[in-house]
Chains A and B, each alone.
Chain A
Amino acid sequence: EAGVVQSPRYKIIEKKQPVAFWCNPISGHNTLYWYRQNLGQGPELLIRYENEEAVDDSQLPKDRFSAERLKGVDSTLKIQPAELGDSAVYLCASSWGPNRGGDYGYTFGSGTRLTVV
């Protein structure tokens, strides 16, 4: 079984430029999460999807961040415009559902390391 696939692995952009990250979850996983991991810290949730619905986006900085999950499968996270403080690793994860995530944990992708210069 393929894991959670993210692309790109690395991205370097100048501040004020837009950037997008893509995530393909494990087949059949209806819950998808985007986390941000700052250097030397644990990941923090940005947004959670149940199928195509964003059910928890309270931590997403909505002035510059947006996300979508069309058809309840792949997801894209966008930043526009990027700021220096957005440099971090952006992790995508998926699970069979919120309850199953509680029982079994999530499966994480390898992440996208963003550097804003």
Chain B
Amino acid sequence: GNSVTQMEGPVTLSEEAFLTINCTYTATGYPSLFWYVQYPGEGLQLLLKATKADDKGSNKGFEATYRKETTSFHLEKGSVQVSDSAVYFCALMDSSYKLIFGSGTRLLVRP
């Protein structure tokens, strides 16, 4: 079946450090891929998306590239801020329009 695997957290970084959160997926066909972010006490917010191979999604300094050959969609940011501390979820949308999420990766950014 379709699934998403994310690196376990927490990921702890100092402010201005480079961030990578790994995400790989298993799916039939070529699903749309998403990154959602969940700040404490809030719902999930769409961070970025990619709908086909080699697409790069970007938003707020975050980027992720849809890599069909490695079935990956890793999230990156060049310089994290304390305000980026949150839980990040990688997700795919299957052929029945259902979002399937990874287990989430908590990011902690220290000043």
Question: Which A residues are within 8 Å of any B CB, using their own CB?
Answer: 4, 6, 31, 33, 35, 40-45, 48, 56, 91, 93, 98-99, 101-111
Contact = CB atoms under 8 A, between A and B. Distances in A.
A45 B20 CA distance: 27
Q: Which of A33, A42, A48, A108 has the most CB of B within 10 A?
A: A42
Contacts of A41: 103-104
B45 A108 contact: yes
B104 A91 contact: no
A4 B103 contact: no
Interface of B: 4, 32, 34, 36, 41-46, 49, 51, 89, 91, 93, 96-99, 101-104
A93 B62 CA distance: 23
A103 B99 CA distance: 12
26 contacts: A6-B43, A31-B97, A33-B99, A42-B4, A42-B91, A42-B101, A42-B104, A43-B44, A43-B89, A43-B101, A45-B98, A48-B97, A93-B44, A98-B97, A101-B97, A101-B99, A102-B97, A103-B32, A103-B51, A105-B36, A106-B46, A108-B36, A108-B43, A108-B45, A109-B43, A111-B43
